[in-house]
Chain A
Amino acid sequence: MFGFRWYGANPLHLLALIGCFALAGYAGLRLFDARPLAVAVWLFGSVIAHDLVLFPLYALADRSVHGVLRHRPAPMPAVPWINYLRVPVLLSGLLLLVYFPLILGYPPGYTLITGMSVSVYLDRWLLATAVLFGASAVAFALRLRRHRRAGSRSRPPDSRRGREGRPRGVGRSEGAPRGEPPAGRLAAPDPGCAATVRAWSSG
């Protein structure tokens, strides 16, 4: 390692990386051969498309949903709801991300090549999306009902359910030292929920 401090890592690190660049160069000469600019756009544009477009978009969407729905005048449900939205959005979005060429009917040769219709894919994706959101809505409705029943009976839920999920904002507040027991801070809409929160907080 002596004399290699200027580099900042083990010489093996440098050797391996130069080897990697050499192989990439050898393959790259062939990859870029026909249409270098277009290939570069694909290869490096894909990084920009993910890191500086797709990621910021979905991260911002997630934050906005939190923010917008939280500041609605109507009281929010006292059970954690965000994942009932996240899951169907994500699953439907993944299907769209992978299969958008067929869903949007982009490939002009699809019918010609396969002998089948391309128009079914938009229908199918919309139906899949409907099923995903519908199932999530049903699951959320059941969850709300369970929560209300627990509330009307004015008793804390069993410990398993208590640990499973909890309203957003309940638990360790922002900036609280690590390892401290969670502190409840929720405007509970009914005494049942208040009891629930107390149970969670002390648990």
Chain B
Amino acid sequence: MLRGALGQGWRTVADSPPPGPFRRGFWRSPIRGPWLTAVLGSVLLVGITILFVTGLASYAAYNPDLRSNDMTPGKGLLGFYLFDWPTEPYWLYRLNQGVHVTLGIVLVPVLLAKLWSVIPKLFDWPPVRSLAQLVERVSLLLLVGGAIFEFATGIVNIQYWYQPLPGSFYSLHFYGAWVFIGAFVVHVGIRFPRMVRALRSRSLRDELRTGTAATRPEPLDEHGLVAADPAPPTMSRRGALGLVGAGSLTLFVATAGQSLGGPLRRTALLAPRGQILGSGPNGFQVNKTAFAAGVTAAQTGQSWRLELVGAGAPVAFDRDELLAMPQHSAQLPIACVEGWSTSNQLWSGVRLADLARLAGRPDAASVLIESVQRGSAFANASMRRNQILDSRSLLALRVNGADLSLDHGFPARVIVPAAPGVHNTKWVARMTFVEA
């Protein structure tokens, strides 16, 4: 009896949605429908997969298993895939981060359009039809919340707006990605067949030939995306996709130049590194100025020494002594986790491998490089054996034929092919070569 009454009551509630967005007639766009959602979803499927893979690669590029490099020491099994970050090709990190950041920005309009295309589902009535649907809706909270969280933390970080972030960017963006990705994989798994069906339901070629006047709604669908009472079209599906594409293109043009460098940097009108810093041998982008790092001329003046620690007693060299050693040069870019990079600069100085030998550890497994800088997570960094032994890995003293500027790490800085910019420690004070 009670059960019957409850069932009756539930049916009454289910059949009478509250007014407004909970009623199907509220949503009137004539182009909303499974096909449009599927097109946007397939773009995000490819794009977010690339974002996740390049993100994991960037995490590996920090060699977080080495002493002092780990920004997320509590990662547990989430670093299961880590591998020795290579030095070849030398532009690997530049490409990886350029793609990660630029693609992330370019996907913002696609993500917004995808959310627009499924917004009626948020107001589904009744809100829960089955336990399965309830569980799935909770996972959608992780999916949408996780996606916006990842985009927002990334976008805020590249603009140096750290104040609103609820913690360290590295920890937020890394763990946030893992919170998101499970929901993403399950969502793709559940929806993939529906996406394929929807993509096959209309011909892309025909849609691209259909203007606004000939635009008709998709057939009413069981999932409630298609408007039951559609308004007259003001835009074709072609127009909507074109608009999303134009949004992505606009963001691309305003951003990509900061990763391409050279004269194209000027085209990145709104990118954080779209400005020309200066001219001359040291006129390329500075990762962090000496002033911001708290490094003074006194610390880097005549009294400066490079201390090498390894087997036996530490040895120290002043800058002239380093300049008297065999000098080697390498054409390498600076590529930052924030996505911007410089074109190749001609660095010259002493090979890290030679310094390992001077420290009595030619076969060192790793080296801890410490800066005169104090109080920053990146005042020191560790490099692995393959990075020490690469013949292009230098303790650079000069760049593009001139002494390093203070902002670029005078008296000496590390430059290693394919390493994240922030690991190319500036104002180096001590290098400790460690055996395995």
SS class of chain A's interface: helix, strand, loop or mixed? helix
Q: Which residues of B contact A34 (CB under 8 A)?
A: 166-168, 171
- Provide the residues of chain B in CB contact with A31, threshold 8 Å: 171-172, 175-176, 179
Complex Cα–Cα for A43 and B149 (A): 6
Asked whether B139 lies within 8 Å of A116 as measured between CB atoms, the reply is no
- Give CA–CA (A83, B240) in the complex, Å: 10
What 4 A-B pairs have minimum CB-CB distances, sorted nearest first?
A8-B130, A38-B166, A27-B178, A9-B132
Instruction: Report B167-191 residues with CB < 8 Å from chain A CB.
Output: 167-168, 171-172, 175-179, 181-183, 185-186, 189-190
Contact of B163 among A30, A83, A108, A124 (CB under 8 A): A108
B139 touches A103 (CB 8 A): no
Residue B142 is within 8 A (CB to CB) of chain A in the complex? yes
**Chain B, 351-396, CB within 8 A of any chain A CB:** none
Is there an interface contact between B182 and A23, defined as CB atoms closer than 8 Å?
yes
Q: Are A102 and B216 in contact (CB-based, < 8 A)?
A: no
Cβ contact of A8, chosen from B129, B155, B159, B168, cutoff 8 A: B129
Contacts between chains A and B (CB distance < 8 A), count: 236
Interface string of A89-124 (1 = CB under 8 A from B): 011001101110111001111101111110011001
Instruction: List chain B residues, Cβ under 8 A from A158.
Output: none
> Are the CB atoms of A41 and B145 closer together than 8 Å?
no
Cα A164 to Cα B214 with chains together (Å): 9
Chain B: CB-nearest residue to A46:
B148
B270 x A128 contact (CB < 8 A): yes
Within 8 A of B (CB), among A136-151: none
**8 Å CB contacts to A: which residues of B132-180?**
132-133, 135-136, 138-139, 141-142, 144-146, 148-149, 152-153, 155-156, 159-163, 166-168, 171-172, 175-179
Question: Are the CB atoms of B135 and A17 closer together than 8 Å?
Answer: yes
Bound complex: CA of A121 vs CA of B270, how far in Å?
A: 6
* Chain A interfacial positions (CB closer than 8 Å to B): 6-9, 13-14, 16-17, 19-24, 26-28, 30-31, 33-35, 38-39, 41-44, 46-47, 49-51, 55, 80, 82-83, 86-87, 90-91, 94-95, 97-99, 101-103, 106-110, 112-117, 120-121, 124-125, 128, 162-166, 168-175, 178-179, 182, 200
User: Counting CB contacts under 8 A, is B424 at the interface?
Assistant: no
Known: A113-B288, A121-B270. A30 touches B76 (CB 8 A): yes
- Which one, B105, B141, B275, contacts A47 given CB within 8 A? B141
* Chain B residues near A49 (CB-CB < 8 A): 148
Q: Is the CB of B211 within 8 A of A102?
A: no
- Find B212's partner among A90, A165, A173 (CB 8 Å cutoff): A165
Alpha-carbon distance between A181 and B268 when the two chains are bound, in angstroms = 47
Residue of B nearest to A127 (CB): B269
Bound state CA distance, A108 and B159, in angstroms? 10
Given contacts A128-B270, A174-B229, A178-B216, contact A95 B133 (CB under 8 A): no
The residue that B190 contacts in the complex, of A7, A13, A97, A113, with Cβ under 8 A, is A13
A30-B175, A34-B167 are known contacts. Are A47 and B144 too (CB-CB below 8 A)? yes
A200 and B167 contacting across the interface, CB-CB below 8 Å: no
A103–B142 alpha-carbon span in the complex (Å): 30
Cβ-closest chain A residue relative to B271: A99
Interface residues of B (CB under 8 A from A): 72, 74-78, 105, 108-109, 115-116, 119, 122, 129-133, 135-136, 138-139, 141-142, 144-146, 148-149, 152-153, 155-156, 159-163, 166-168, 171-172, 175-179, 181-183, 185-186, 189-190, 211-214, 216-217, 229-235, 239, 243, 246-247, 250-251, 254, 269-270, 272-273, 275, 277, 285-286, 288-289, 291-292, 407
Residue of B with least CB distance to A165: B212
Are A51 and B119 touching (Cβ within 8 A)?
yes
Q: Does the CB pair A163–B211 fall under 8 Å?
A: yes
Residue on A nearest B173 in the bound complex, by CB? A31
**A182 contacts across to B, CB distance below 8 A:** 213
CB distance A41 to B166 under 8 Å?
A: yes
Provide the residues of chain B in CB contact with A171, threshold 8 Å. Answer: 213, 232-233
- 8 A-B pairs in the complex with CB atoms less than 8 angstroms apart: A13-B190, A21-B139, A22-B182, A26-B76, A33-B171, A47-B144, A50-B148, A115-B286
